[in-house]
Amino acid sequence: MFARILKRMQEGIRSREYVVTLHARKEMNADELSIYDVERGILTGEILERQQDRLTVEWKYRIRGKTTEGDKVEIVAKLSNTGKLVIITVYSL
């Protein structure tokens, strides 16, 4: 259903055209996840759902994939107006 969006997000990972929010960094540290885990999570993942941000009215996507160790990880991300991928938050399952 969201194959085109996921492909654009994966292209953002491959081309290193993404930003990680401070909140996502904190969550990565709390769950002992590396940026490689996040990258692999998006590259191996699937979009579970689309959510609309209440404040900005932008669409964000919940992605479930696998870490470098093969564990499950979820990433909430969006595509910015400039086309960059924005990683909003990350958590291990």
Q: What is the mean pLDDT of residues 7-16?
A: 97
Residue that is written with structure tokens 């579970």 in the block: 48
Phi, psi of 8 (to 5 degrees): -65, -40
What local confidence, expressed as pLDDT, does residue 86 receive? 98
In the chain, % of residues over pLDDT 70: 100
**Model pLDDT, residue 5:** 96
Q: At residue 55, does pLDDT exceed 90? A: no
CB atoms within 10 A of CB 90: 28
What pTM value is reported for the model?
A: 0.94
pLDDT in the model for residue 53: 86
More confident residue, 54 or 33: 33
What pLDDT score does 8 carry?
97
Q: What angle do CA 55, 3, 32 make, to 5 degrees?
A: 65
